[in-house]
Amino acid sequence: MAPEHRSWDRFAVVSIAAGAALRAVFGLLIHPPLDYVYSDMQGYVTRAVRLADGVTLNRFDTFFPPGTHIVLALPLRIFGTGRAGMWAASVLVLVMSCAVPWLAWRCATRVMNPKAAAITAFLTAFWPLYVIYGGFFLSEIPSVIALLLTILLAFRVRETEGRRRVLFALAAGAAAGSALAIRPQLVLNVTIAAVTMLGMRRSIRVAGAAALGLVVPLAAVLALNTHAAGTFVGISENGGLNFFQGHCPVNSVRTSKPGVGVLEFGSPVVAQLERGREYFFTDHIAWEQSFFVRQGLDCIRADGIGHVAVLARNVADLGITSVPWPPSVERGLRRFVRPANLAISWLLPSLIVGGVALARSRRAAAGRPMLLVAHLLCVFPTAVIFYGDPRFRVPYDVFGLGLFAILLVSFTSRHEPDRTEAA
């Protein structure tokens, strides 16, 4: 390895270590997750406690994808559901948060040169949204960990031979299944990772191992949800309600049914913007997906061609229209997340266009950006099909930061040394 490459690798390692120290101070001293258990965080913890205690699960445990509360249930099962277990869960979230820059760097070294990869590690290590979401019991950090691990293992499949290749494929499949259990909308990214993994060296054994790895966590999740609901319900049951919220003028939704009670939902984006109106369905409950899909389709038909404006608004809601929740409700955190969120939101179109243009011009001296562009584009169908929220975009920020690094190095160092092989 050239001395310059070694120096950039050292820079990356130092950045990752410094980012870990920052996260430790924030996640253990300033903002430990166990002290901020309310709203969505309360929901994840409550479901995790039920799972850890082995008490009877209920139908609402199947409403959200169970991946996050399964992760939180692990330390609660070992250390108990009291204060000690909550501290253990907080430490687990901290460890995952610290791992994000390392995984981002290891993935980046496969698609860009050492300088751009080191800059990606630096940006990810100090990205305010990744640091701050490490102080909450939410799905953002677990989802980005599972996604990056899937991508890294997919690269390892391409880089190895024989039995190890099959084992890496099995692990990649398991990571992909875990990603889907946390956030099913990552299915497009998982598909891209599968293409990355197989490449031109297609093998039935490798594909079979990856498929087996994928099935194991998904089968466990489906079995858990079926047990909780008493019937097969899939990975989650909130798709219909999310579709309705994204295509109708919804501010909040309350549903009720005899024997179930009242459930209320709303997007933090529309709450901040004071947009839409309240809906109250007295004979339908939140997990009746077909009912809410029909309501959403009725709104689309009523809007006609004008519904394009709704879709454009949903895409804008991924970033520029609001401040990411829950940091938005804490003044100290808001000062950091608001400018970071606006910066990445305004830059994304330029990064995507710049990445495509750089790839087409064959002047991407720092690497080949199209894989990052492909992964980044996967966030937009979520906003179009359902609705937009900065929290949906946060796991994809790592690809935007990587694109920024490639563009920065490519345009400042046109004669960069050899590029690494792209996927």
Q: Phi/psi zone of residue 162: left (φ > 0), alpha (ψ -120 to 50 degrees), beta? A: left
Lowest-confidence region among 194-203, 254-263, 287-296 = 194-203
Question: What phi and psi values does residue 254 have, to the nearest 5 degrees?
Answer: -120, 130
Of 174, 107, 184, 110, whose CA–CA distance to 143 is shortest?
184
In the sheet with 250-257, reading across from the earlier edge strand, the strands are 261-265, 250-257, 277-281
Please tell me whether residue 2 adopts helix, strand or coil conformation.
coil
Element (H, E) at 279: strand 277-281
The pLDDT assigned to 365 comes to 61
Q: What is the mean pLDDT of the chain?
A: 94
Task: Answer whether residue 106 shows pLDDT above 50.
Answer: yes
Look at residue 364 in the predicted model and tell me its pLDDT.
Answer: 58
pLDDT tens readout for residues 2-41: 667 889 999 999 999 999 999 999 999 999 999 999 999 9
How far are the Cα atoms of 25, 43, 295, 376 from residue 284, in angstroms, in the given order?
Answer: 46, 21, 12, 36
**Residue 315 to residue 321: CA distance in whole angstroms:** 10
C-alpha atoms less than 13 angstroms from C-alpha of 2 in its C-beta half-sphere = 9
Distance CA 358, CA 379 (A): 21
What is the mean predicted confidence (pLDDT) over 346-368? 84
Is the per-residue pLDDT at 95 higher than 50?
yes
Tokens of 277: 């109106």
Per the CB < 8 A criterion, the answer to whether 139 and 182 are in contact is yes
* CA dihedral angle for residue 302, residue 306, residue 309, residue 310, rounded to 10 degrees: 0
pLDDT digits (tens, 9 = 90+) for 389-405: 999 999 999 999 999 99
In angstroms, rounded to a whole number, what is the distance separating the alpha carbons of residues 105 and 380? 24
Q: What is the C-alpha separation between 156 and 242, in angstroms, rounded?
A: 36
Q: Which of 410, 386, 383 is nearest to 396 (CA)?
A: 383
CA distances from 331 to 138, 338, 343 (A): 19, 10, 19
Q: What element of type H or E holds 263?
A: strand 261-265
Average pLDDT, stretch 248-273? Answer: 94
Measured CA to CA, the distance from residue 345 to residue 319 in angstroms comes to: 5
How does pLDDT run across 32-66, given as a tens digit for each residue? Answer: 999 999 999 999 999 999 999 988 888 899 999 99
pLDDT at residue number 421? 42
Percent of the chain topping pLDDT 70: 95
Residue 43: what pLDDT?
A: 96
Q: What is the pTM of this model?
A: 0.95
| pLDDT at residue 420 is higher than 60 | no
Count, residues in the chain: 423
Domain ranges of the chain: 3-229, 239-286+288-316
Judging by DSSP bridges, how do beta strands 277-281 and 250-257 pair with one another? parallel
The C-alpha angle 305, 310, 380, rounded to 5 degrees, equals: 110
**Secondary structure string (H, E, C) spanning 313-365:** HHHHCCCCCCCCCCHHHCHHHHHHHHHHHHHHHHHHHHHHHHHHHHHHHCCCC
What is the identity of the amino acid at 258?
P
In the structure, what pLDDT confidence band is assigned to residue 359 with cuts at 50, 70 and 90?
confident
